[in-house]
Structure 1
Amino acid sequence: MSDKAHGDINDTLRAEGPDAVRARYDRAPKFNDGKHQQRFTLKPFEAIKLSTAPNYLVKGILPDVGLAVIWGPPKCGKSFWTFDLSMHIALGWQYRGRKVQQGTVVYLALEGGHGFAARVEAWRRRHLANHREPVPFYLLDVPLDLIADHGELIRAIREQLGGRKPAAIMIDTLNRALAGNENDPEDMAKFIKAADKLRAAFGECLIGIVHHCGVRGSRPRGHTSLSGADDVQIAVNRDKDGNIIATVEHMKDGEAGAVIACRLDRIELGLDDDGDPITSCLIIPAEGVTSAKGPKLSDANKLALVTLQTLLAAEGQPPPADCKVPQGTTRVCSAIKWREAFYAAYPTDKPDTKQKAFVRAQIKLHDLGLAAVSSAWAWCPDNPDKSRK
Structure 2
Amino acid sequence: MEAHANDSPGWGGKFNFEKLGKRRAAIEPQASGPQSEIKSRFSLIWAHDIGDEDNHKEWIIRDIFGAGEFSYIVGQPGAGKSMCATDMACHLAAGWDWHGFKVKKPSFVLYIAAERAKLTRRRIKAWRKKHCFSDDLPVLVVSGYMNLTDGLEDAKEIISVIEQAEGECGLECGLIVIDTLTRVFGGGDQNASKDMTRLIDAVSLIQETVPRAHVSVIHHTTHAGTRAKGAIDLDGAVDVSFMVGPKGGAVVLENTGANDGKEGDLMAYEFESVTLGKDDEGEWTTAPVLVPVSLPDTNGKGLPPLSKSHKDILEIARELMGDKEEPVPGQLVREAYYTKYPNKDRETLKRGYSRAIKSLKDRGLVDASDGFVSIIEGH
TM bin, normalised by shorter chain, reads: 0.5 to 0.7
Give 1:222's aligned residue: 230
Q: Does 1:301 align with 2:311?
A: yes
SS at match of 1:192: helix
Give 1:284's aligned residue: 291
Q: Does 1:115 align with 2:119?
A: yes
Give 2:324's aligned residue: none
Q: State the identity as a percent.
A: 24
Q: Normalization by structure 1: what TM-score?
A: 0.64
Q: Does 1:270 align with 2:273?
A: no
Q: Indicate the structure (1 or 2) with the bigger Cα radius of gyration.
A: 1
Q: Pick from 37, 40, 54 the counterpart of residue 39 of structure 2.
A: 37
Give, as a single letter, the amino acid of the residue that structure 2 aligns with 1:235: M
Q: For the residues of structure 2 that align with 1:348 and 1:252, how far apart are their CA atoms?
A: 11
- Gapped regions of structure 2 (runs ≥ 5): 1-36, 316-338, 343-359, 366-377
C-alpha deviation, 1:300, in angstroms = 5.7
Conserved? CA contact 1:60–1:258, under 8 Å: no
Conserved? CA contact 2:247–2:296, under 8 Å: no
Bigger drift between 58-67 and 286-295 goes to 286-295
Q: 1:296 to 1:123 in 2, by over 3 A?
A: closer
Give 2:180's aligned residue: 173
Q: 1:221 to 1:282 in 2, by over 3 A?
A: same
Q: 1:298 to 1:118 in 2, by over 3 A?
A: closer
Give 2:18's aligned residue: none
Mapping for residues 353-372 of structure 1, pairs under 5 Å: none
Conserved? CA contact 1:109–1:139, under 8 Å: yes
Give, as a single letter, the amino acid of the residue that structure 1 aligns with 2:340: P
Conserved? CA contact 1:246–1:260, under 8 Å: yes
Give 2:146's aligned residue: 144
SS at match of 1:146: coil
Conserved? CA contact 2:297–2:304, under 8 Å: no
Mapping for residues 233-248 of structure 1, pairs under 5 Å: 233-241=241-249, 243-248=250-255
Give 1:330's aligned residue: none
Conserved? CA contact 2:255–2:307, under 8 Å: no
Give, as a single letter, the amino acid of the residue that structure 2 aligns with 1:269: L
Q: For the residues of structure 2 that align with 1:287 and 1:214, how far apart are their CA atoms?
A: 28
C-alpha deviation, 1:41, in angstroms = 3.0
SS at match of 2:146: coil
Conserved? CA contact 2:177–2:217, under 8 Å: yes
Q: Pick from 72, 87, 94 the counterpart of residue 75 of structure 2.
A: 72
Q: For the residues of structure 2 that align with 1:88 and 1:126, how far apart are their CA atoms?
A: 12
Q: For the residues of structure 2 that align with 1:90 and 1:170, how far apart are their CA atoms?
A: 13
Show CA shifts across 1:56-86 (max 9, x none): 1111111111101101111000100110011
- Gapped regions of structure 1 (runs ≥ 5): 1-34, 306-345, 350-363, 370-387
Q: Does 1:347 align with 2:354?
A: no
C-alpha deviation, 1:255, in angstroms = 3.3
Q: Pick from 215, 218, 236 the counterpart of residue 207 of structure 1.
A: 215
Conserved? CA contact 2:180–2:218, under 8 Å: yes
Q: Normalization by structure 2: what TM-score?
A: 0.66
Q: Does 1:182 align with 2:190?
A: yes
SS at match of 1:80: helix
Q: For the residues of structure 2 that align with 1:297 and 1:244, how far apart are their CA atoms?
A: 16
Higher helix proportion, which one?
1
SS at match of 1:284: strand
Give 1:153's aligned residue: 158
- Aligned CA RMSD, in angstroms, stands at 3.4
Q: 1:263 to 1:304 in 2, by over 3 A?
A: farther
Conserved? CA contact 2:264–2:305, under 8 Å: no
Give 1:126's aligned residue: 130
Give, as a single letter, the amino acid of the residue that structure 2 aligns with 1:279: T
Show CA shifts across 1:196-255 (max 9, x none): 1111112342111000001211100000000100011011001252x2100111111323
Aligned length: 282
